[in-house]
Structure 1
Amino acid sequence: MKAFTINKYSKTGGLQLTDMPIPVVKEYDVLVEVHASGLNLLDSKIKTGEFKLILPYKFPLILGHDVAGVVTQVGAKVTKFKVGDEVYSRPPDFRIGTFAEFIAIDEKDVAHKPKNLSMEEAASIPLVALTVWQALVEKANLKKGQKIFIQAGSGGVGTIAIQLAKHLGATVATTASEKSFELLKSLGADVLIDYKKQDFESVLKEYDVVLNSQDKKTLEKSLRIVKPNGKVISISGPPTPEFAKAIKAPWFVKIILSLISSGIRKTAKKLNIEYSFLFMRAEGKQLQKITELIESGSIKPVVDKVFPFTETNDALSYVESGRSKGKVVVKMK
């Protein structure tokens, strides 16, 4: 099968289009013929080696964390899916590889594709929607009437986070450039801050939750707009010792993460705010709940551009540029 791979970590090199063997199907796996694959900054960060301490991959490595396609083979113990089912998934770490013609995924990490979405739209959903679900529902326990600040509202995570937060009954503030305001209003954002002209710290006060996806400086400012006992959940770091423990990282990784996150954890503790780092996990059951929200119209995908599979490098460059509104997808056919 054709696949885009890397043979080493590199900040400059692109992905190579190569021939790879079709994955072996284990007893609980479904083999998915890939119709479309979503791209994420995570792909770029893995390519450059930014996560090699946390995710030590072996080479050659097929990148890609989002897939929509059709089941072509099922393992002997698979019960939830059959050949011909249309599915989507965020495969788990160490089993990624959606920039390819086929991928084998454990059935527990797969969900039926929403009936009202195209393959390209469905491929844009899993990673960002699971990130948002795990941040807002699991970690924040976001409630009706609470206020949440979602940074970078026009990005892949932001566009879904605004919609889920509104579904949960929260008031939503977000940052973006003015040209994205119309889109974000249509998704449900209540307070719109033009990051080029305004400082969110002078506009927002007494928020219950912040979803941080930006740099350290933005994270530090975010702590100052949260009320005591509020929560700041970061998907861009710094990772914490608790996170290292959760992924069963070696002892030295725990020490490194403890050091790099100590400043922000101390500041949060002083302000009586709960700081946590989220690195989302694959979870088919949660994705099935997200399917229900999509089919009911509570969440809709926001896809900026669809590239042909052969132009996966161009698609990844576009994601890295930070210009995309919503998600970028490659399609096979």
Structure 2
Amino acid sequence: MEPTPRTHTTTLAEQENIPASMPALYLPLPPSHPYTITNPPSPSTLLYTTTHPTPTPTSSQYLVKIQTTALCRGELGWAETLSPASHASSSPSSSPSSSQPTTTTTTQPQPDNPVLLKCIPGHDISGIVLSTPQIDERSMAGPKFKVGDEVIGLLAFARDGGAADVAVALEGELAFKPRNVSALHAACLPLSALTAWQAVFEQAGVKGWVQDADGDGDGEEWRRDKERVRRVLVLNASGGVGVMVCQLLKADMLFGDGEGNGGGRFWVCGVCSGRNEEFVRDQLRVDEVLDYTKEREGLGAAFRRRGWAPVDFVLDCVGGQTLKQAYDAAVVRDGGIVVSIAQPVPEQEPEWADVRDAIVKRDLTSRFFIVRPDGEQLGKIALLVEGGELKSFVEREMELYQGREAMELVESGRVRGKVVLRVNNYDR
């Protein structure tokens, strides 16, 4: 016999009367736009409107009232942003997540409006659940998140983001918001922290465990064999992902012995500008800092001059010449790991031939990856936040209608923390 449907699962929050249109920040894209990954639209192309069509969730989607969203440098030039197919209402999401169906709902071009696609940025979100998936009506357990729950999430890049009054989300993209931070800081977590998590634990194969936030050790354990990663170099340690990687590697809840000694498990060197050196050393607790503005001869020369042993793992958040220097034998040991979130090693370009040879001859693991939404991992990250092991850094909070100026600030590269848009009011 089929279970009785849970009639409350798709009920909207009683105090909400969701209109057919909503405030939103969007990128207008003509059907044959000139933009590419190497020639992205500028922040000045972003528009603010109060009449953007409100999305209607599919049977597998939540509807979330957005409180805050954090913008990401470069997101206007992502392939998913610029691909019309990514934003058609019947197209599946091309960004993997741990949820089930990936049918999307976004704005379709109207016959009388040749301005086509209106892509909404801001895939880092913090918000409140307004409605839950219809497919949960026949589930005995019901949805994981209930109406009124505060959540954080990384929305799939092939769908609209959270720079709007409401957004749709899949269950596998969401986690409960950490109880000890406001929506301002919560929105800074998903993309940066998930990228750091996947770089450390999936790409580099580091092992660790997460204790409960109260430190009683009853949390899920997954520490296993002896580490092959002990020495780590983080390129752009003061950036969003670098900040999270440094904190993860120094987290007692992940790598400690229960007596506050987690910070000594890894030797971590952070590369940043002199302006951020004190921040990286004191706030992120790294062991050494390199000011790249003073290291004109490159990373290899810097390591040799200081007599440092090469590291086991390099995380590159910069790309270009900096990534190339990371393959120096003085920087990374034979058999070591270089992971980049900025770019892959070019397969054909002659100037990268020495790097390709080094990868083979020195048995290096060389990887490039793009973060994926993962609600389960995000839930573990939230535990670390509640345990005081991870914190986000906000450069500036701005209003949704200031989105163009906010994106210009993000793209300037002159920010230490995240730039956050306040979409709806929240408790501070």
Asked whether the two chains share a fold, i.e. TM above 0.5, the reply is yes
Provide the TM-score with structure 1 as the length reference. Answer: 0.87
* Deviation string, structure 1 residues 24-78 (Cα, Å, up to 9, x no partner): 12222211101000111142323xx697589955522112210001111111234
How far residue 271 of structure 1 moved from its aligned partner, in angstroms, is: 2.6
Any runs of at least 4 consecutive aligned residues in structure 1 with deviations exceeding 6 A, and if so which? none
CA distance in 2, matches of 1:11, 1:22: 24
Q: Give the aligned residue type for 2:238.
A: S
* Deviation string, structure 1 residues 264-295 (Cα, Å, up to 9, x no partner): 54442233211011100000000000000110
Q: Give the aligned residue type for 2:69.
A: S
Query: Contact 2:87/2:159 (CA < 8 Å) preserved in 1?
Result: no
The secondary structure found in structure 2 opposite 1:201 is helix
2:32 maps to 1:32: no
Query: Contact 1:157/1:326 (CA < 8 Å) preserved in 2?
Result: no
Q: For residue 81 of structure 1, what is the aligned residue in structure 2? A: 145
How far residue 114 of structure 1 moved from its aligned partner, in angstroms, is: 0.4
How far residue 297 of structure 1 moved from its aligned partner, in angstroms, is: 0.8
Unaligned runs of 5+ in 2: 1-21, 30-34, 89-116, 137-142, 208-226, 256-264, 304-308
Provide the TM-score with structure 2 as the length reference. Answer: 0.69
2:396 maps to 1:297: no
Q: Give the aligned residue type for 1:218.
A: T
Query: Contact 1:233/1:277 (CA < 8 Å) preserved in 2?
Result: yes
* Deviation string, structure 1 residues 197-247 (Cα, Å, up to 9, x no partner): 1243223341111111113211110011110111100001027xxxxxxxx
Q: Give the aligned residue type for 2:179.
A: K
Q: Give the aligned residue type for 2:197.
A: W
CA distance in 2, matches of 1:73, 1:182: 45
Q: Give the aligned residue type for 2:274.
A: E
- The root-mean-square deviation of aligned C-alpha atoms, in Å, is 2.3
Which among 371, 394, 407 is matched to residue 280 of structure 1?
Answer: 371
Question: How do residues 183-222 of structure 1 correspond to structure 2 at under 5 angstroms?
Answer: 183-185=279-281, 186-198=283-295, 199-204=298-303, 205-222=309-326
Q: Looking at CA atoms only, which structure, 1 or 2, has the larger radius of gyration? A: 2
CA distance in 2, matches of 1:134, 1:6: 29
2:411 maps to 1:320: yes
2:106 maps to 1:22: no
How far residue 259 of structure 1 moved from its aligned partner, in angstroms, is: 4.4
Q: For residue 226 of structure 1, what is the aligned residue in structure 2? A: 332
Q: Give the aligned residue type for 1:203.
A: A
Question: How do residues 1-333 of structure 1 correspond to structure 2 at under 5 angstroms?
Answer: 1-8=22-29, 9=35, 10-12=40-42, 13-18=44-49, 19-46=51-78, 52=82, 57=87, 59-78=117-136, 79-142=143-206, 146-167=230-251, 168=255, 169-185=265-281, 186-198=283-295, 199-204=298-303, 205-224=309-328, 225-238=331-344, 259=348, 263=353, 264-332=355-423, 333=425
CA distance in 2, matches of 1:38, 1:84: 21
Greater CA deviation, 31-40 or 54-63?
54-63
The secondary structure found in structure 1 opposite 2:67 is strand
CA distance in 1, matches of 2:340, 2:164: 30
Query: Contact 2:81/2:157 (CA < 8 Å) preserved in 1?
Result: no
Q: Give the aligned residue type for 1:171.
A: W
CA distance in 2, matches of 1:134, 1:328: 23
Unaligned runs of 5+ in 1: 240-256
The secondary structure found in structure 2 opposite 1:304 is strand
How far residue 183 of structure 1 moved from its aligned partner, in angstroms, is: 1.7
Q: For residue 252 of structure 1, what is the aligned residue in structure 2? A: none
Q: What percentage of aligned pairs have identical amino acids? A: 31
The secondary structure found in structure 1 opposite 2:250 is helix
Q: Give the paired residue count.
A: 314
Query: Contact 2:319/2:340 (CA < 8 Å) preserved in 1?
Result: no
CA distance in 2, matches of 1:120, 1:101: 15
